[in-house]
């Protein structure tokens, strides 16, 4: 939201906004652009011009005092995805990366490849790519790479955001159940993906994970050409000859050898999808090879936060069981022989619920030791709906993974630090701040 506000200001628009708790660096960045930020939501924050367009973020719901004034006064309002579509995407060549997992990394890889090949891309990515320096850049001339989120658009438009992105090329990494606060079941998510694929033009392409049954299902009867990519024999483009070394994963694609300085099958699949999308729009394959070989990564994706006395602390955004599993597999390849700890905060709207409790237990079971914090905002869920961390811990201990359930980050640190030893790897899984656990853990280990 802040990045698009800044881009609109650069186009010459007058922009102001409201936020419950604006904080640096985004607040100071916006102020530097001449954008007025009001703290808190009040009717008096609205522009004097009753015809000014109000952009409503998808975190805003009915009952918000400022939103209610917009409706009462019949002011024109729209959503952030529609602003992107009308001001930056219409008439352009848009490459949309979707899927339950890997969107941020794959879209970062793709934008990096285009930029490295001498093109001038725009991008809109839900993370900070190390190679690009920022998650949003909307001044490019050639293509726009977008991380296509299936979360809803706004309180008045419950369609997924990605249906607004006018795609020429769509990447579908995988399709699983997620966003339990928005979707009732997997079928509802599949329907949303089908709606998005239904608007891809015939001269575009849909590049999907051919090893994922759900991805194949949403592409049935797709009007645009479908390219399947994966390990299986049915895939039209196969990933072969995988080789994993600490700090390097190598694979072959259409007779060409690729290497990425990152571990794990997840990252190989992400790179293969980015390579296929880039080649489809005409990037020279050798430029793709060179760019992926130099790809630095994305903040909060298997990021080393620090090392103390031979003990490493890794930050990862993973909160869905499949993402946690993929990360832990990568850690085994990155740090062979190390004892791996998984520290998990049940904070996302899916991980707070019991829907994927069995899958979460299986994923955390790939660690040697695990610690789980209390469920975030637990009082908002009934006992039946809520994840049961004590049951997860009991099942992990029964299966051979030493596991603990503690109230918060401080309690977890107090529990695990006395047991830590040289060579251990602590992987912190959270889509939030987890009580500052990364720095606190590093300080405690000293």
Task: Give the separation between CA 68 and CA 212, rounded to whole angstroms.
Answer: 43
Long-range contacts formed by 235-240: CB under 8 A, 24+ apart: 235/210, 235/211, 236/210, 237/272, 237/276, 239/268, 239/269, 239/272
State residue 23's pLDDT score.
Answer: 75
Residues 278, 191 within the same domain: yes
Distance between CA atoms of residues 79 and 375, nearest Å: 31
Say what the pTM is.
0.87
If asked whether residues 117 and 182 sit together in one domain, one would say yes
Residues 251 and 173 in one domain: yes
In angstroms, how far is the first alpha carbon of the chain from the final one?
39
Q: Are residues 246 and 331 in the same domain?
A: no
- Do 246 and 134 sit in the same domain of this protein? yes
346: Cβ contacts below 8 Å, ≥ 6 apart: 319, 352, 372, 373, 374, 375, 376, 387, 389
Task: Decide if 80 is inside a domain.
Answer: no
CATH of the domain at 126: 3.40.1190.10
Tell me the CATH number at 13: 3.40.50.720
The rounded distance, in Å, linking the Cα atoms of 288 and 109 is 10
Question: Do the domain assignments include residue 149?
Answer: yes
Q: Alpha-carbon dihedral of residues 97, 101, 104, 108, nearest 10 degrees?
A: -70
Residue ending a domain, among 75, 109, 126, is 75
The answer as to whether 37 is a domain residue is yes
Q: Is the dihedral of CA 161, 326, 210, 122 positive or negative?
A: positive
Which CATH number belongs to the domain containing residue 322 in this structure?
A: 3.90.190.20
pLDDT value of residue 68:
98
Strand 237-245 to 248-253 pairing:
antiparallel
Distance CA 285, CA 273 (A): 13
Please give the pLDDT value at position 378: 92
**What is the reported pLDDT for 242?**
95
- Whether residue 271 lies inside any domain: the answer is yes
**Structural domain span for residue 372:** 303-445
Domain limit, last residue, from 265, 293, 321:
293
**Which pLDDT score, from 0 to 100, does residue 254 have?**
94
State whether 421 and 402 are in the same domain: yes
**Closest by CA position to 399, among listed 430, 363, 441, 438:** 363
Q: What DSSP element (H or E) covers 170?
A: strand 169-172
In a domain, residue 81? The reply is: no
Same domain flag for 153 and 238: yes
Cα–Cα distance, 367 to 344 (Å, whole number): 11
Tell me if residue 2 falls in helix, strand or coil.
Answer: helix
**pLDDT under 50 in the chain at which residues?**
none
Task: Quick: pLDDT tens for 290-303.
Answer: 999 999 988 888 89
Cβ partners under 8 Å of residue 333, min gap 6: 244, 245, 246, 249, 263, 264
Residues 150 and 209 in one domain: yes
Q: Are residues 339 and 204 in the same domain?
A: no
Same domain, 264 and 361: no
Residue 433 lies inside a defined structural domain of this protein: yes
Residue 111 falls inside a structural domain: yes
For residue 184, being part of any structural domain is answered with yes
Number of structural domains in the chain: 3
The per-residue pLDDT for 83 is 96
Residues 328 and 212 in one domain: no
Residue 264 tokens read as 């794990």
Burial class (CB in 10 A: 0-12, 13-18, 19+), 276: buried
- In contact, 299 and 127? CB cutoff 8 Å: yes
Which of 75, 106, 132 corresponds to the end of one domain?
A: 75
Which residue, among 202, 199, 200, 191, has the nearest Cα to 160 in the 3D structure?
191
What's residue 210's pLDDT? 97
Which has the closest alpha carbon to 106: 145, 153, 164? 145
Are 259 and 364 contained in the same domain?
A: no
β-pair type (237-245, 54-56): unpaired
């Amino acid at each position: 939201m802040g990045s698009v506000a800044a881009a609109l200001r650069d186009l010459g628009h007058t922009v102001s906004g409201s936020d419950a708790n604006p904080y640096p660096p985004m607040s100071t960045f916006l102020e530097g652009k001449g954008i007025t930020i009001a703290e808190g939501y009040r009717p008096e924050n609205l522009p004097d011009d009753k015809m000014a367009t109000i952009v409503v973020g998808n975190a805003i719901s009915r009952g918000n005092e400022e939103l209610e004034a917009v409706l009462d006064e019949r002011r024109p309002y729209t959503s952030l995805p529609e602003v992107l579509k009308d001001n930056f995407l219409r008439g352009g060549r848009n490459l949309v990366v979707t899927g339950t997992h890997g969107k941020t990394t794959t879209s970062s890889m793709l934008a990096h490849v285009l930029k490295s090949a001498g093109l001038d891309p725009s991008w809109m990515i839900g993370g900070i790519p190390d190679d690009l320096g920022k998650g949003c850049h909307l001044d490019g001339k050639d293509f726009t790479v977008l991380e296509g989120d299936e979360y809803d658009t706004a309180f008045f438009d419950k369609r997924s955001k990605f249906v607004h992105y006018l795609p020429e090329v769509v990447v579908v990494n995988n399709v699983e159940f997620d966003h339990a606060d928005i979707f009732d079941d997997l079928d509802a998510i599949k329907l949303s993906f089908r709606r998005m694929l239904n608007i891809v033009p015939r001269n575009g392409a849909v590049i999907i994970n051919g090893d994922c049954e759900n991805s194949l299902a949403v592409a049935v009867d797709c009007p645009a050409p479908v390219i399947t990519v994966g390990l299986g024999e049915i895939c039209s483009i196969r990933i072969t000859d995988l080789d994993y070394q600490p700090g390097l994963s190598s694979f072959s694609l259409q007779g060409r050898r690729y290497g990425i300085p990152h571990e794990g099958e997840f990252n190989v699949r992400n790179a293969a999808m980015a390579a296929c999308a880039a080649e489809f729009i005409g990037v020279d394959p050798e430029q793709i090879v060179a760019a992926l070989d130099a790809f630095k990564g994305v903040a909060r994706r298997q990021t080393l936060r620090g090392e103390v006395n031979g003990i490493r602390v890794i930050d990862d955004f993973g909160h869905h069981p499949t993402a946690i599993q993929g990360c832990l597999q990568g850690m085994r390849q990155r740090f062979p022989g190390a004892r791996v700890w998984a520290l998990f905060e049940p904070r996302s709207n899916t991980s707070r619920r019991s829907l994927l409790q069995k899958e979460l237990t299986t994923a955390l079971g790939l660690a040697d030791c695990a610690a789980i914090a209390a469920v975030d905002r637990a009082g908002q869920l009934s006992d039946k709906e809520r994840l049961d961390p004590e049951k997860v811990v009991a099942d992990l201990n029964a299966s051979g993974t030493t596991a603990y359930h503690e109230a918060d980050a401080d309690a977890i640190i107090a529990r695990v630090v006395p047991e830590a030893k040289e060579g251990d790897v602590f992987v912190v899984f959270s889509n939030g701040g987890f009580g500052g656990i990364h720095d606190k853990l590093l300080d405690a280990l000293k």
